[in-house]
Structure 1
Amino acid sequence: MAHALSSFHMLRLYFFIPLMCLVKADTDETCTAFTKLSLHSAVVGTELNVKLMLFTRKNMACAQAINSTAFGNLNVTKKTTFLIHGFRLTGSPPVWMGDLVEGLLLVDDMNVVVVDWNRGATNVMYNHASSKTRKVAEVLKEFIDQMLANGASLDNIYMVGVSLGAHVSGFVGEMYDGQLGRITGLDPAGPLFNGKPPQDRLDPGDAQFVDVIHSDTDALGYKEPLGNIDFYPNGGLDQPGCPQTIFGGMQYFKCDHQRSVYLYLSSLRENCAITAYPCESYRDYRNGKCISCGTPQKVPCPLLGYYADNWKDYVREKDPPMTKAFFDTAEEKPYCIYHYFVDIITWNKNVRRGSITIKLRDKDGNITESKIDHEPATFQKYHQVSLLARFNQDLDKVATISLVFSTGTVIGPKYKLRILRMKLRSLVHPERPQLCRYDLVLMENVETIFQPILCPKLQM
C-alpha cells in the first residue's frame, strides 16, 4: 500500500510541473500561459480577448494555444471539457486552475480546454465583466462549430463553469438547444443574475445534464436551483473552515464562493466519494428525513462533482427533472462526512428534550465525534428517535461508543435520559453490522462509555 501511494505521489509530482509556465514542449513549441494582469488593469478596465488553452495527456504540463483554425493536439473523437473561470477582481490567474486541469486528465483521457477570458473578466466593476459573458459564449460556439465540422459530437462536450463562467456555459448550451452533453456550474454568480429568466442565465435545459454546486447563496452565488440536480453543501451558506468575520481578509469574501471548486476537485483526486441526499430543505436533511436513496432502494444516492452524471438516468425519469440535494462537509480536504443513524428508544415517564453527542473509538484508538445539536430532539416513552450523526472519520470496527445527553440549561436540575435501546447504523456502508446497547441511563452532561454488541439481525 505504501509503495502504491508513493508511486501515485511520484506520478502527481511528475505532472505537477506548473501548468501555466513558459517551458519547452517536446515539439519545441513555447507553451502558452494564462493571462496575468494587475490591479492597475482592473482599475482602468480590460477589453475582451478570449484565449483557448489545450491540455491533453500528451501535453499535461504545457498548454497549446488553439483556435477554430488550429486544433493542435485536440482529438475530436474524445471528450472535450471546457473550463471557464469567472470575475477576476485583481487580474491574477485562478489559483485552482492548474489542479483542476491535472485532476481531470488523471481521471480521464480527454481534451481539457481552459477558456482564458481574463481580459474582459478583470475589472473592479463587476457589471462590466458580467456584460462580456455572452460574447465569450459566442467565441466558444464558433470554436465548437468547427469541432463539429471535423467530426466531434455534442454528446462529448462538457463545460465546467465557475461563477460567471457557469452562465457562459449556459449561454453556449442554449445556442445548441440544450444538446451539449453536460454542464457543471460551480457556484454560479448571483449578482445581476438572480431573478433573471432562464434565457438570461444557466438553466436545466442548457444541456442533456446540468449539475450545480451552490456554496455561497447568501453573497456571491445564485440561491435558487439552476440544474437537473442542485447540490447545497452545508445548506449552501457558510462553509466550515472559512473565515466568519472580515478579519479573515480576502478569504472572508471568496472562501465560501470558491469552496464549490475545491469540493469538485475533491471528487477527482481524493479517496472520498461525497454522497448527497435529495431533500426539500437543509433542515429536513439534518433531521434525517431524506435518507431514502441507496441500498436496498433502487435509486442511488447522487454523488457530488465529476461523477454526478451517474445519476442522470434517474433525473430523466422525473417531471420536472429538477432535484435539490443536501450534505455536510468537513472543514478541510477531502471534506468527506460519514453519515450514521443513531436510533434511540427511551422509557422516561416525562418527555425529555435535548441534544446528543456521540463519540466512536476503534481498537487502534482512533476517535471521531458527532454533536447532534442543530435543534433539540424530543424523547418520548417507547418512541424511537432517529438522529443523523455526521463523523469526519469512517471507523470500520467500532470498539467503544460514548454518549452525552444535554438539555442546554446552565442552571436548574440535571436530568436523566433512560435509554431502552440505542442502535448505530451506517448509511455509507449499510452492509455493516448494526451496533446496539440496551438499558442505559445517561446523566445530563456526563459522558457514558460502553462497548456495543451486534444487534439482532431481525431488527430494522
Structure 2
Amino acid sequence: MSGYSSNMFYRTFFWGLLYVTLMLFDTFRAQDCEKMTDLNFKDSILGTSLNVRFLLYTRANISCGHLLSHQEPFSNPHFNLSSPTTFIIHGYRPTGSPPVWIYRFAEFLLNRRDMNVIVVDWNDGATNLNYWKVVKKTPRVAANITELIRKMETNGANLSSIHLIGVSLGAHISGFTGAEFNGEIGRITALDPAGPEFNGRPPSERLDPTDAQLVEALHTDMDALGYRNLLGHIDYYANGGADQPGCPRTILSGSAYFKCDHQRSVFLYMNSVNGSCPITAYPCESYADFLDGKCMDCGKFKPDGCPAFGYDVVHWREPLVRLGQTRTYFQTNEAFPFCKFGYKVDIVTWNQKLHWGYLTIKLHNGKEETQVELNHKSITFEKYVETSLLAQFDRDIQPVKEITLKFCPAKGLRPRTKLRLLSIRLTPLQNNLRPLCRYDLLLEKNKDVTFRPIPCEDSNF
C-alpha cells in the first residue's frame, strides 16, 4: 500500500470511528433523558393504575429530565439538596397526553433561579374518564411526594426552601403534602384548584392556608372546573375568576371550550415567573368594586403597595400572613404577555342634573394608540361629585401626547346628550408616571373629543 493510500485509510478510519462514537454517545444521552408518561384515549377508557414518577430538571440538564429513584433519589449528581426545590404537580388528564406546558414551565423556573425542579408525573393514575376515581388517588400521590420530601429533610434540605406548584387536582395534592409537615413547607401555589368534589369540603380535606408558610391560589374557572372560595393567604381572581378573555364561549369550539379558562391559570403564572410583564393584584371585596376603581388604595401593604401577582408575591408574605386571607383581582389580555396597564380615572362634572352613560378613552403617543371602553355598567355623573373609574389598557402607550374621550348616554326616557367635565384626571397605576389632567371639557353624544393633557394642578410631579 502506498503512503498516500495508507494515510487516506487511517484518516477515513479515524473519522468513521469518531462518527460512530458520537452517534453512540448521542444515543446514550437520548436514552438517559426521561419524559412524562404519554398515554392515549384508550388508556382513559380502560382507566389506569397509579404510578408516581419524579423527573428532575436543573440548569445542568434543563432540557433532559432525569428519573429519580424512590429508593435512592439523591444518587443523581445534579440533585443539590442545598438548593431550593420546586415541585410541579399536574392534575386530571382525561385524554392521557402530557400537559403541553410542563417542560416550558420547568425551563422558565430554571431561567429565573438556580434550583431543583421536580416534575411529578402521575399520568398513570390521572388518566381515566372517571374523574371521581382519579380524585380518590390524590392522597396517595401526596404520600409519594411526602416520602421524597422526608428523605430530603433527613439529608439536610430546608423545608422552607420547598415550593409546591399544583395545577387543578395538583393544588389539593400540594395541600395534603403540606399538611403532613404541619405547614412548614415554604410555599404552595395553587393554579385554578379543582372545584368538583372539593367545594364545600372542610379544610382537612382540601388545600387551606395552614398547609404552608405562604399559600397562594389563582382562580380562572371558578364557575366550572375550578374552586370558587378562598383557599390561601392570597387568592387571585383573574378577570373576575371565571371567563377568561380569548377563550371560547360555546361548545362548538370543541375541547378548548372545557379547558381554556382552567388552563389559563398555568400560562398566567408562567408569565409571572418569566417576569417580563408584571401584574398588580388589587385587594378588593368584589370584582364589581374593582372595576369601579374602589380598590386602588393598598395602604395596608406599606411600604411596598399592592402585591404583585404570582412568583414575586413572596416579598409580601409577612403582611399577607398577618392579614389572614386576602381576596385580589386583576385584568389581563387574551394572550402572552397578558398584562394590562391601568389608570385610575377621576371625573368631576358640572351638569345641573344627573347623567348616566358610558365612556370610551383612547390614548395616543403620536405613533400608536390604545383604547378602553368603560361599559361594564352605566356610570353615574353628579355635579361636583367625583366619579372614580378603573381604565385598563391593552398596551402601555408612552409618552401620552393626546387623549380622546367619547360619551355614550345610557338609554332611558330622557337621555342626557351632553356631559360637561369640570376636570378629568388619569393617574397611572404603574411605573410611577405623572398624572394626566384636563379641565373644562364638553362631551357630546357619541362624538370624539381629542385634547392634549396638561400637568394636574395639585400634582407633586
TM-score (norm 2): 0.91
The answer on whether the counterparts of 1:67 and 1:143 sit within 8 Å (CA) in structure 2 is no
The answer on whether the counterparts of 2:301 and 2:307 sit within 8 Å (CA) in structure 1 is no
Give, in angstroms, the shift of residue 217 of structure 1: 0.2
Give, in angstroms, the shift of residue 307 of structure 1: 1.2
The answer on whether the counterparts of 1:340 and 1:390 sit within 8 Å (CA) in structure 2 is yes
Task: For 1:207-286, list aligned pairs within 5 A.
Answer: 207-286=212-291
Distance across 1 between alignment mates of 2:410 and 2:67: 61
Which residue of structure 2 lines up, in the alignment, with residue 17 of structure 1? Answer: none
The one-character-per-residue Cα deviations of 1:85-124 (angstroms, maximum 9, x if unpaired) are: 0000000000010110100000000000000000000000
Which residue of structure 2 lines up, in the alignment, with residue 335 of structure 1? Answer: 338
The answer on whether the counterparts of 2:359 and 2:407 sit within 8 Å (CA) in structure 1 is yes
Distance across 2 between alignment mates of 1:80 and 1:413: 61
Distance across 2 between alignment mates of 1:296 and 1:55: 35
- Taking a change above 3 Å as real, the CA distance of residues 260 and 107 of structure 1, as seen in their structure-2 partners, is same
Mapped pair 1:104 → 2:109? yes
Give, in angstroms, the shift of residue 29 of structure 1: 5.9
Which residue of structure 1 lines up, in the alignment, with residue 451 of structure 2? Answer: 450
Distance across 2 between alignment mates of 1:413 and 1:154: 63
Give, in angstroms, the shift of residue 295 of structure 1: 11
Amino acid at match of 2:327: K
- Taking a change above 3 Å as real, the CA distance of residues 76 and 297 of structure 1, as seen in their structure-2 partners, is closer
Structure 2: stretches of 5+ with no match in the other structure:
1-24
- Taking a change above 3 Å as real, the CA distance of residues 300 and 283 of structure 1, as seen in their structure-2 partners, is same
- Taking a change above 3 Å as real, the CA distance of residues 25 and 335 of structure 1, as seen in their structure-2 partners, is farther
The answer on whether the counterparts of 2:356 and 2:410 sit within 8 Å (CA) in structure 1 is no
Q: Which one is further off, 301-310 or 202-211?
A: 301-310
The one-character-per-residue Cα deviations of 1:390-445 (angstroms, maximum 9, x if unpaired) are: 1011122111100011124399766100111111111113x322211111110011
Amino acid at match of 2:134: A
Give, in angstroms, the shift of residue 25 of structure 1: 8.9
Q: Which one is further off, 444-453 or 106-115?
A: 444-453
Distance across 2 between alignment mates of 1:359 and 1:297: 32
Distance across 2 between alignment mates of 1:25 and 1:369: 54
Query: Which residue among 171, 174, 178 is the counterpart of 1:169?
Result: 174
Which residue of structure 2 lines up, in the alignment, with residue 355 of structure 1? Answer: 358
Provide the secondary structure at the position in 2 that maps to 1:437: strand
Distance across 1 between alignment mates of 2:347 and 2:27: 63
- Taking a change above 3 Å as real, the CA distance of residues 140 and 458 of structure 1, as seen in their structure-2 partners, is closer
The answer on whether the counterparts of 2:404 and 2:448 sit within 8 Å (CA) in structure 1 is yes
The answer on whether the counterparts of 2:409 and 2:415 sit within 8 Å (CA) in structure 1 is no
Distance across 2 between alignment mates of 1:118 and 1:202: 21
Query: Which residue among 374, 381, 384 is the counterpart of 2:383?
Result: 381
Distance across 2 between alignment mates of 1:414 and 1:26: 77
Distance across 1 between alignment mates of 2:28 and 2:399: 51
The one-character-per-residue Cα deviations of 1:175-199 (angstroms, maximum 9, x if unpaired) are: 0011100000000000001100111
The answer on whether the counterparts of 1:299 and 1:314 sit within 8 Å (CA) in structure 2 is no
Larger radius of gyration: 2
Which residue of structure 2 lines up, in the alignment, with residue 292 of structure 1? Answer: 297
The one-character-per-residue Cα deviations of 1:15-34 (angstroms, maximum 9, x if unpaired) are: xxxxxxxx959978611111
Q: Which one is further off, 59-68 or 84-93?
A: 59-68
Which residue of structure 2 lines up, in the alignment, with residue 397 of structure 1? Answer: 399
Which residue of structure 2 lines up, in the alignment, with residue 434 of structure 1? Answer: 435
Amino acid at match of 1:120: G
Which residue of structure 1 lines up, in the alignment, with residue 35 of structure 2? Answer: 33
Q: Which one is further off, 450-459 or 283-292?
A: 450-459
The answer on whether the counterparts of 2:341 and 2:392 sit within 8 Å (CA) in structure 1 is yes
Which residue of structure 2 lines up, in the alignment, with residue 310 of structure 1? Answer: 315
Give, in angstroms, the shift of residue 323 of structure 1: 0.5
The answer on whether the counterparts of 1:270 and 1:334 sit within 8 Å (CA) in structure 2 is no
The answer on whether the counterparts of 1:81 and 1:112 sit within 8 Å (CA) in structure 2 is yes
Task: For 1:22-101, list aligned pairs within 5 A.
Answer: 24=26, 30-68=32-70, 69-71=72-74, 72=76, 73-101=78-106
Provide the secondary structure at the position in 2 that maps to 1:317: helix
Give, in angstroms, the shift of residue 457 of structure 1: 3.9
Distance across 2 between alignment mates of 1:458 and 1:113: 50
Which residue of structure 1 lines up, in the alignment, with residue 122 of structure 2? Answer: 117
Distance across 2 between alignment mates of 1:297 and 1:63: 42
Distance across 2 between alignment mates of 1:282 and 1:155: 33
Which residue of structure 2 lines up, in the alignment, with residue 130 of structure 1? Answer: 135
Distance across 2 between alignment mates of 1:212 and 1:25: 42
Provide the secondary structure at the position in 2 that maps to 1:243: coil
Task: For 1:174-193, list aligned pairs within 5 A.
Answer: 174-193=179-198
Distance across 2 between alignment mates of 1:200 and 1:396: 49
Distance across 1 between alignment mates of 2:66 and 2:266: 24
The answer on whether the counterparts of 1:155 and 1:181 sit within 8 Å (CA) in structure 2 is yes
- Taking a change above 3 Å as real, the CA distance of residues 410 and 361 of structure 1, as seen in their structure-2 partners, is farther
The answer on whether the counterparts of 2:294 and 2:388 sit within 8 Å (CA) in structure 1 is no
Provide the secondary structure at the position in 1 that maps to 2:60: coil
Distance across 2 between alignment mates of 1:24 and 1:187: 39
Give, in angstroms, the shift of residue 242 of structure 1: 0.2
Distance across 2 between alignment mates of 1:223 and 1:308: 21
Which residue of structure 1 lines up, in the alignment, with residue 160 of structure 2? Answer: 155
TM-score (norm 1): 0.91
- Taking a change above 3 Å as real, the CA distance of residues 223 and 24 of structure 1, as seen in their structure-2 partners, is farther
Give, in angstroms, the shift of residue 349 of structure 1: 0.8
Provide the secondary structure at the position in 1 that maps to 2:294: coil
Distance across 1 between alignment mates of 2:117 and 2:123: 18
Provide the secondary structure at the position in 1 that maps to 2:73: coil
The one-character-per-residue Cα deviations of 1:59-92 (angstroms, maximum 9, x if unpaired) are: 0011000034132121111100000000000000
